[in-house]
Amino acid sequence: MCGIAGIVAAQGRPAPSAALGRRMIDVIRHRGPDDNGLHCDGQAVLGMSRLSIIDVAGGHQPAYAAQDRVCMVFNGEIYNFCELRRDFERQGARFRTRGEAEVILHAYLRHGADAIAMLDGMFAIAIRDQRSNELLLARDRFGEKPLYYAHGPFGLLFGSELKSLLQSPDCPRDIDPDALSAYLAYGYVPCPLSIFAGVSKLPPGHLLRYRNGGVELRRYWRPSLATRTALDAGEAGEKLVELLDRAVSSRLVSDVPFGAFLSGGLDSSTVVALMTRHLSRPVKTFSIGFKEAAFNELADARRVARHLGTEHHELVVEPDAVALLERLVWHFDEPFADSSAVPTFLVSQLARQHVKMALTGDGGDELFGGYDRYRRLLAMERLGPLRAPAGSALHLAGAILPDPLGGRLQRIGERLRLPFRQRYLSAVALMRADTAAALNPAAGGPEHYRLPMLDAPGADLGAGGSALDRAVAMDLQSYLPDDILVKLDRMAMANSLEGRSPFLHPELAEFALSLPESLRVSGADTKVLLRRVASRWLPPPAISKPKQGFAVPLADWFRGPLLPLVADTLASRAFRERGLCDPKAARALLDDHVAGRANRDQALWQVTCLELWARRFLDTTAQEEPSCCCA
Please give the positions annotated as active site. 2
First to last CA, the chain: 26
Whether 39 and 46 have beta carbons less than 8 Å apart is answered as yes
144/79 Cα distance (integer angstroms): 13
Q: How far apart are CA 264 and CA 502, in angstroms?
A: 17
Say if CB 76 and CB 103 are below 8 A apart: no
Nearest to 283 by CA among 266, 300, 265, 307: 307
Pairing mode of beta strands 311-317, 357-359: unpaired
In 132-223, the DSSP E strands lie at 134-139, 148-152, 155-159, 199-201, 206-211, 214-219
Identity of the residue numbered 278: H
Instruction: Measure the CA–CA gap between 556 and 594, rounded to whole angstroms.
Output: 9
Give helix then strand counts, H and E, for the chain: 26, 19
DSSP result, 444-486: SGGGSS--GGGGSTT--TTTTS-HHHHHHHHIIIIIIIIIIHH
User: How far, in Å, CA of 430 to CA of 600, rounded?
Assistant: 11
Residue 228 near residue 154 (C-beta atoms within 8 A): no
Distance from chain centroid for Cα 478:
9
Among candidate residues 305, 317, 297, 318, the one with its CA nearest the CA of residue 259 = 305
CA-based nearest residue to 160, from 47, 290, 310: 47
Dist. CA 615–CA 295, nearest whole Å: 30
Containing H/E element for 390? helix 387-400
For residue 181, give every residue at least 6 positions away whose Cβ sits within 8 Å of its Cβ, in sequence order, or none. 436, 440, 442, 443, 444, 447, 448
Q: CA nearest 95: which of 53, 59, 133, 42?
A: 59
> Beta-carbon neighbour count of residue 299 at 10 Å?
13
In this structure, the number of other CB atoms found within 10 A of the CB of residue 202 comes to: 21
CB atoms within 10 A of CB 401: 13
d(CA 340, CA 486): 12
Amino acid identity for residue 139 in this structure = R
